[in-house]
Structure 1
Amino acid sequence: MSGKHLKGHEVSCCIKYSIFGFNIIFWLLGVAFLGIGLWAWSEKGVLSNLSSITDLGGFDPVWLFLVVGGVMFILGFAGCIGALRENTFLLKFFSVFLGIIFFLELTAGILAFVFKDWIKDQLNFFINNNIRAYRDDIDLQNMIDFTQDYWECCGAFGADDWNLNIYFNCTESNPSREKCGVPFSCCTKDPAEDVINTQCGYDVRAKDDEEQKAFIHVKGCVPQFEKWLQDNLTVVAGIFIGIALLQIFGICLAQNLVSDIEAVRATCLFT
């Protein structure tokens, strides 16, 4: 074998194992996400009664694990096997699928910037829809509590959004002990307390607006999320740019390996 052919062979091996290493991590992460999602579903009895999927009134966070895990598993599998077996079909599938995801992310980013008000309305609708289903699913409940606690907010645009929930609304016919209250995640924290008081939001909305401020966060999660984005714009932009560069890097590696494989096969045909 000549020096030129040997050098080309070394470059192909380098690209091949770079793609394999690049994808094995995503493949393993995909397996982990799928495992977590399926375990969560089995704990809730969804796997034994698939019709219960349609009974969920709000967003089930488990879907996020399943969708992300499924995409990562398929991409990682195609990239790993395509690189090791020098399968150009799988490598092209990997690069095209990754390119489509990159294009969708770019489009979503542009549309989110152009239609900011529409996105805000949809976020408001999404949060309020999940407020209605707060007690229906433990994972959804944990997601809402985490959101309200992290961003120090309550409801979509204020604590009164919890009137949408049958347990927290202030109607005379509501027999719930949580009537005119809010979840504990809306409460302001006392640094001296080690144990969370899950009843801190009881009857708080029966007080006037000024009194409520002493017990709960009165700002909504939509404006608090907007404020968080503005305060952390550099970090958020850096994360998205980093993800985009990784995707471009993966596409370039796959395309280079496909070109090398096709070049070697073409050489073999003429020798």
Structure 2
Amino acid sequence: MKSGLSGAEQCIKYVLFAFNFIFWLAGTGVLAVGLWLRFDERTKGLFTAEGSPSTFLTGVYILIVAGAVMMVVGFLGCCGAIKESSCMLAIFFVFLLIIFAAEVAAGIWGLSNKEKVVKDFQDIYQQTFANYQTTKQEALRETLRVTHYGLNCCGPTGLPTDGVSDICPKKEGLEILVTTSCPSVIEEIFTSRLQVIGGVGIGIGVITIFGMIFSMLLCCAIRRTRDIV
């Protein structure tokens, strides 16, 4: 059956399809990372070990749920656009509205609780380090190694006496004397890169708004053509 949409509305239809296909791919990636962290040999022990950092475990499950939701939303948007289904587009719009509201709420909460967030992340690292020193679990060791290399830091004090130099970034010459502690790096990242994080959040919010606008325009156009028929 020939579509009753105008040229501009057809353009919106395919732009919305492309947007949601990318969104679906991103959700697939997020879900894959979450599942990898959950079932990888080096980290799955954290989910059964006593005293494992609860925030890390919660974060992994959030990644899995977020990835699954993104895939569902992307699928609804793709099918709604290509099949010209006003019902799917309406559900897609509601999902985007919920996501946008969650983004705004998370942004406001993050800005108003910046110091608490920094302290929580520092506590998570300290807890993981203390648990490793007590249990010597390989999963905790791998978590610390990834953290050290990712943040370019070493231990809670940055001193050789921490006893974790073998899982810290290798340095040569005078750099050995300038090792940075991980808690101080965590604080520096949240302080110096807050604008970048905020910019990314605003960018995602703008994309979400455009997705809602395009889905609503296309939904109204589809209903209009059906009413004419």
Tell me which interval the TM-score lies in, with the shorter structure as reference length: 0.7 to 0.9
Task: Determine which of 24, 27, 30 is the counterpart of 2:27.
Answer: 30
Question: Corresponding residue for 2:96?
Answer: 98
Question: Corresponding residue for 2:171?
Answer: 189
**Pairwise CA distance, 1:137:** 6.1
Unaligned runs of 5+ in 1: 161-178, 193-212
CA gap of 1:115–1:29, structure 2 versus 1, over 3 A, is closer
Measure, in 2, the Cα distance between the counterparts of 1:133 and 1:92.
48
CA gap of 1:38–1:227, structure 2 versus 1, over 3 A, is closer
Instruction: Tell whether the 8 Å contact from 2:42 to 2:138 is kept in structure 1 after alignment.
Output: no
Question: Corresponding residue for 1:88?
Answer: 86
Deviation sequence 1:166-195 (CA, Å, 0-9, x none): xxxxxxxxxxxxx95125344661179xxx
Question: Identity of counterpart residues, as a percentage?
Answer: 30
**Pairwise CA distance, 1:99:** 1.9
**Pairwise CA distance, 1:128:** 2.7
Task: Determine which of 235, 246, 254 is the counterpart of 2:207.
Answer: 246
CA gap of 1:187–1:34, structure 2 versus 1, over 3 A, is closer
Instruction: Tell whether the 8 Å contact from 1:34 to 1:65 is kept in structure 2 after alignment.
Output: yes
The count of corresponding residues between Structure 1 and Structure 2 is: 220
Instruction: Tell whether the 8 Å contact from 1:188 to 1:215 is kept in structure 2 after alignment.
Output: no
- 1:57-206 matches, within 5 Å, as 57-58=52-53, 59-60=56-57, 62-63=60-61, 65-134=63-132, 136=137, 138=139, 141-155=141-155, 158=157, 181-186=163-168, 189-190=171-172
**Pairwise CA distance, 1:16:** 1.4
Deviation sequence 1:59-93 (CA, Å, 0-9, x none): 24754542342122111111111111222232122
Amino acid at match of 2:9: S
Structure 2 residue 197 is matched with structure 1 residue 236 = yes
Question: Corresponding residue for 1:44?
Answer: 41
CA gap of 1:44–1:142, structure 2 versus 1, over 3 A, is closer
CA gap of 1:261–1:54, structure 2 versus 1, over 3 A, is farther
**Pairwise CA distance, 1:42:** 4.7
Structure (1/2) with the larger helix percentage:
2
Higher relative contact order (CA 8 A, sep 6+): 2
Q: TM-score, normalised by structure 1?
A: 0.65
**Higher Rg of the two aligned structures:** 1
Q: TM-score, normalised by structure 2?
A: 0.75
- Considering only aligned residues, what root-mean-square deviation do their CA atoms show, in Å? 3.7
Measure, in 1, the Cα distance between the counterparts of 2:168 and 2:43.
30
Measure, in 2, the Cα distance between the counterparts of 1:40 and 1:105.
24
Partner-residue secondary structure (3-state), 2:164: coil
Deviation sequence 1:189-227 (CA, Å, 0-9, x none): 1179xxxxxxxxxxxxxxxxxxxx83743x342x32332
Partner-residue secondary structure (3-state), 1:44: coil
